[in-house]
Amino acid sequence: MPSLIGSYSLLFGLGCSFLIIFFSIKNFKNSNLFDSKILSFSLLQLLFVVISFFGLILSFVISDFSNETVFNHSHTTKPLFYKISGAWGNHEGSLLLWLLVLTLFISIFLLNTKNQLKDYRILTLLFQQVIIIGFFIFIIKTSNPFNYIYPEPKEGLGLNPILQDPALAIHPPILYLGYVGSSIIFSSALAAMTLNWVSKEWAKHIKKWILVSWIFLTLGILLGSIWAYYELGWGGFWFWDPVENVSLMPWIALTTLFHCVLVLEKKPILTSWVIILSITTFTLSMCGTFLVRSGILNSVHTFANDPERGVFILIFLFSLIFLALFIFFFFYKPDNVKINSFFWLSKETAILVNNWFMMYFLSVILIGTIYPIFLDVISSEKISVGPPFYHKLIIPFLIPFLLAMAIGPKLNWIKSDLRNKFYLFSFLIISLILSSLIIINLKIDFLVNTILISSGFYLFFITTRDFFVHKFQNLAQNISHFGFSLFILSVLFNNIFSSEIITNLKVGETFKSKDVIIFFEKVTKKKGQNYETIIGKFNIVDSENIKQTLIPELRIYNQPNIVTSEADIKINLLSDKFMTMNLVQNQNYFNIRYQHKPFMIWIWASVSIISFGGLISLFKKKHEV
């Protein structure tokens, strides 16, 4: 019954789209007042999608295996929490969640823009409904979460055990809030171009949507990274996995867009940057959906392997891009005189330099992600682009980027100079000396490390100084930039000081090295709700004679029958002790992976600080940069 209600609700929601479009076109240019029927049908559409989504959740909760999606991704022994989260932990359910957020955001947009131009509201709604209709048709035709199975199976196939995790249960909804928020930015930009209303007033309005999307996307990426760290047993915070990359690319575009909008709020320049980045951000979000849903990418994150779905998304994406380019070339009329009117040493120039660096980083990640796909299509040759590619191309340019990020906010709008800013040079000397001492003591003979650590310290010192000198002035910017400097330093020191031991041990055996002693004490077995677990007990003694006990697990799930490795992580303010174990087939040995990962908690904390800065910027009453 819930599946039937959910299925019909989808159809009614699609019908609302056509009614919204009908009344919107009728109201456009024909009246000075916004037709209340448009808002009513938009809220009704949201209600239908909410009913459909909760119908799917209820089908999972009651284990309705006549529903194909429930049958493929649930099981009666699965805990209730994961039954609920399983509703969006699959291809069909996640797309329904996309649709729910799309309709929610456009309803909020209409409610919060009552003081905006009527034609602007209607055009934004029309462009957003084009996207919504595309997702309605995609779900109903190729990815229906309410397909019926007869006769009804007695049991389901279960959810992939690595997806049965609290962090991953909340990671997709938060990430989708970031992804889908970019759709409002996209639709708003098209509406503003059509009406030739790309102005300071529009920038102030759209900045809030950019911030909301950016905050949710940042937190979504953070949660996904934390989940991969402890659940997948990779032992790190980022692995340049293709699906990680497709979430990072719109984040880079959003960050650049936000800085451009800050300039547009002040004076009508960088308007073309704002428009192009608004289109690019949503395009990258859709590209991520295409790559994940089509099965093209070979990743632990991917949900589907259906070329038909991929073709639909690809056609839909190209249609949206063509629409955006058509409006950009035929309706957008920038004022070229105003666009180029700023001095070479100014905050505007610093943001422009920031834009080019960010676009370079975005291009490297884009090429590294899609090049293996094109090579496979053209020559059937399969390659994997890993961390060395990204590190070699990004790290050298990260150094001037960090320096520019430290100096840029200290410049004035329109025209600036570096007089009375002696501290900029003194902090640079201090940073170079400090990083040189660190590198010499560590006996690392890489010049790039010295310069990179110096740039990280330089940004850290400059942003820390601002808290004492400027106090609450530009607080949001200072917090986010401080968080970014802390992130860079934490990543650098994590990379330098990390160590790893991989060995095979039997119960009762000891591994010894100059840095650590690992004693494999015992193995115990326990039974969970839907799995059996093998728990290893290891006593660790490090070089400072500090003793710890780590208890990694091997879990054998009953449905589906999968074995997962659960890491045990001892966390403190300075470092993580990370251990996983796997059974070596046909032997009594266990493969042990022990890692010492410094400053991991500071990596997570720094990203949270960056997000907090965005949150303060969202809620502050007075504009500050």
Supply 598's token pair: 């410094």
Least-confidence region, from 139-148, 210-219, 235-244, 417-426: 417-426
Kindly report whether the peptide bond that precedes residue 560 is cis, defined as omega within 30 degrees of 0.
yes
Instruction: Tell me the pLDDT of the chain averaged across its residues.
Output: 86
Residue of 184, 182, 165 lying closest to 110 (CA atoms): 184
Percent pLDDT > 90 in the chain is: 41
DSSP label of 295: S
User: Quick one: pLDDT at residue 602?
Assistant: 95
At 611 the pLDDT is 95
Q: Which of 140, 132, 138 is nearest to 109 (CA)?
A: 132
Q: Is the pLDDT of residue 237 over 70?
A: yes
Q: Which residues, in sequence order, are CB contacts of 206 under 8 Å at separation 6+?
A: 185, 188, 189, 192, 261, 278
Half-sphere exposure (Cβ direction) of 204: Cα atoms closer than 13 Å? 13
Residue 443 has pLDDT above 70, yes or no: no
Does residue 53 have a pLDDT over 80? yes
For residue 148, the 8-state DSSP code is B
Mean pLDDT, residues 182-191 taken together: 95
- pLDDT for the residue numbered 283: 92
Window from 103-107, 312-316, 443-447 with minimum mean pLDDT: 443-447
> What is residue 234's predicted lDDT score, i.e. its pLDDT?
64
Q: Which residue has the higher pLDDT, 310 or 87?
A: 87
Is the pLDDT reported for residue 365 higher than 60?
yes
Q: Rounded to whole angstroms, how far apart are CA atoms 609 and 191?
A: 34
DSSP category for residue 622: S
Q: Number of helices and strands (H, E) in the chain? A: 18, 10
Residue 343 CA to residue 411 CA, distance in Å, equals 11
What string of DSSP letters covers 206-253? HHHHHHHHHHHHHHHHHHHHHHHHHHS---SS----HHHHHHHHHHHH
Per-residue tokens: 506? 């039997």
Q: For residue 105, report the phi and psi dihedrals to the nearest 5 degrees.
A: -65, -40
DSSP SS3 for 509: coil
Please, what is the angle between helix 600-619 and helix 475-497, to 10°?
170
Q: Residue 165 has what DSSP assignment?
A: S
Compute the radius of gyration of the chain from its Cα atoms. Answer: 26
The tokens for 309 are 């779905």
Least confident of 7-11, 182-186, 220-224, 343-347: 343-347
What's the chain's length in residues? 625
pLDDT over 60 (residue 625): no
Any idea where the domains of the chain sit in the sequence?
1-164, 171-407, 504-601
pLDDT at position 8 over 90: yes
C-beta separation of 537 from 549 below 8 A? yes
Would you give the DSSP letter of residue 531? E
Q: How far apart are CA 206 and CA 260, in angstroms?
A: 12
Q: What is the per-residue pLDDT across 587-624, written as a single tens digit (0 to 9) for each?
A: 788 999 999 999 999 999 999 999 999 999 888 754 44
Any residues with CB less than 8 A from the CB of 580 and at least 6 apart, and which? Answer: 233, 235, 552, 565, 566, 567, 568, 592, 593
Q: Specify the pLDDT at position 515.
A: 84
Residue 298 has pLDDT above 80, yes or no: no
The predicted pLDDT at position 623 comes to: 44
Range in 103-107, 125-129, 150-154, 516-520 with the lowest mean pLDDT: 150-154
d(CA 118, CA 398): 44
Query: How far lies 580's CA from each of 188, 265, 520, 528, 591, in Å?
Result: 48, 51, 12, 19, 8
Nearest-angstrom CA–CA distance, 50 and 45: 9
Per-residue pLDDT at 22 exceeds 90: yes
Q: Are 237 and 603 in contact (CB under 8 A)?
A: yes
611: Cβ–Cβ under 8 A, 6 or more apart, which residues?
215, 218, 219, 222, 483
* Three-state secondary-structure class, residue 526: strand
* pTM of the predicted model as reported, rounded to 2 decimal places: 0.91
Which residue is it, tokens 């650049």? 256
Q: How confident is the model at residue 417 (pLDDT cuts 50, 70, 90)?
A: low
16 neighbors 38 (Cβ within 8 angstroms): no
Name the pLDDT band for 268 (thresholds 50, 70, 90). Answer: confident
User: Distance (Å, rounded) from C-alpha 581 to C-alpha 502?
Assistant: 10
**Is 70 exceeded by the pLDDT of residue 206?**
yes
Q: What angle do CA 181, 214, 227 make, to 5 degrees?
A: 100
Least confident of 9-23, 78-92, 151-165, 411-425: 411-425
Neighbours of 42 (CB within 10 A): 26
- The number of angstroms, rounded, from the C-alpha of 335 to the middle of its chain's C-alpha atoms is 34
Q: What confidence score (pLDDT) does residue 337 get?
A: 46
Residue 284, classed as helix, strand or coil, is helix
Give whichever of 18-32, 125-139, 555-569, 584-598 has the largest mean pLDDT.
125-139
Pairwise CA distance, residues 611 & 605, whole Å: 10
Q: Which pLDDT does position 349 carry in this prediction?
A: 86
User: What does each C-alpha distance from 484 to 281, 303, 471, 541 come to in angstroms?
Assistant: 21, 32, 18, 34
pLDDT of 483 > 80? The answer is: yes
Across 567-607, where does the E strand assignment appear?
568-571, 575-583, 590-598
How many of the other CB atoms lie within 10 Å of CB of 498? 18
Would you state the pLDDT for residue 585?
73
- Compare 561 and 93 and report the one with higher pLDDT: 93
Would you list the DSSP string of 327-359? HHHHT----HHHHT-S-SSSHHHHHHHHHHHHH
Query: Taking 90 as the threshold, does the pLDDT of residue 467 lie above it?
Result: no
φ/ψ of 527, rounded to 5, equals -120, 125
What pLDDT, on a 0 to 100 scale, did the predictor assign at position 308?
66
Q: Of 240-254, 386-400, 438-452, which range is least confident?
A: 438-452
Asked if pLDDT for residue 178 goes beyond 70, the answer is yes
Query: Contact at 8 Å (CB) between 590 and 581?
Result: yes
